[in-house]
């Protein structure tokens, strides 16, 4: 599968669709989900064109991979849901069977309340 430059996250990254930014740096954009599933629900997307985690790990630079994961920790601390507070969940749906809806790597961060079971 090739990267779809017209997916919604690509459009957000280009500024064609607005978002409520939580955090941004050279490698990552994080913003509030427009259809939150929990009290806190933000998305974290790499700025590079990566379809999913497999694509990201095989094509991204080490710096991009490290900065993406460091950004997640920075964001949960900003939101005051880190493991020093009440905790959080990070989730990435990958591929059709994994429930991925947008073909751009993204992680969901959930928090601010009890999340519950991981899979039902």
Which of 35-64 are b and which e, b meaning 16 or more Cβ less than 10 Å from the residue's Cβ? eeebebbbbbbbbbbbbbbebbeeebeeeb
Burial class of 8 by CB neighbour count within 10 A (0 to 12, 13 to 18, 19+): middle
Specify whether 41 is catalytic: no
Give residue 48's pLDDT.
98
Average confidence (pLDDT) over 62-82: 97
Q: How confident is the model at residue 83 (pLDDT cuts 50, 70, 90)?
A: confident
CATH architecture of 8-111: 2-Layer Sandwich (3.30)
- Rounded Cα distance between 120 and 117, Å, is 7
Domain spans, the chain: 8-111
User: Residues 108, 41: contact at Cβ < 8 Å?
Assistant: yes
- Rounded Cα distance between 101 and 31, Å, is 17
Would the pTM of this model clear 0.85, i.e. be above it? yes
Active-site choice (41, 69, 74, 106): 106
Distances (CA, A) of 26 to 39, 45, 46, 78: 27, 12, 9, 18
| In the predicted structure, residue 59 carries a pLDDT above the cut 80 | yes
Average confidence (pLDDT) over 3-10: 97
Mean pLDDT in the chain?
A: 95
Average confidence (pLDDT) over 85-94: 94
Closest CA to 19 of 6, 29, 5: 29
Q: Which two tokens stand for residue 100?
A: 């991925």
Give residue 118's pLDDT.
78
| In the predicted structure, residue 119 carries a pLDDT above the cut 70 | no
């Amino acid at each position: 599968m090739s990267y779809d430059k017209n997916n919604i996250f690509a459009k957000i990254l280009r500024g064609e669709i607005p978002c409520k930014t939580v955090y941004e740096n050279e490698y990552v954009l994080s913003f509030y989900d427009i259809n939150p599933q929990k009290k806190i629900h933000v998305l974290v997307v790499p700025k590079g064109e990566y379809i999913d985690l497999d694509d990201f790990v095989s094509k991204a630079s080490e710096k991009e991979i490290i900065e993406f994961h460091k950004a997640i920790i920075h964001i949960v601390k900003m939101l005051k849901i880190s493991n020093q507070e009440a905790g959080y969940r990070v989730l990435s749906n990958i591929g059709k069977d994994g429930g991925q809806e947008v073909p751009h790597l993204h992680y969901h961060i959930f928090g601010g309340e009890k999340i519950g079971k991981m899979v039902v």
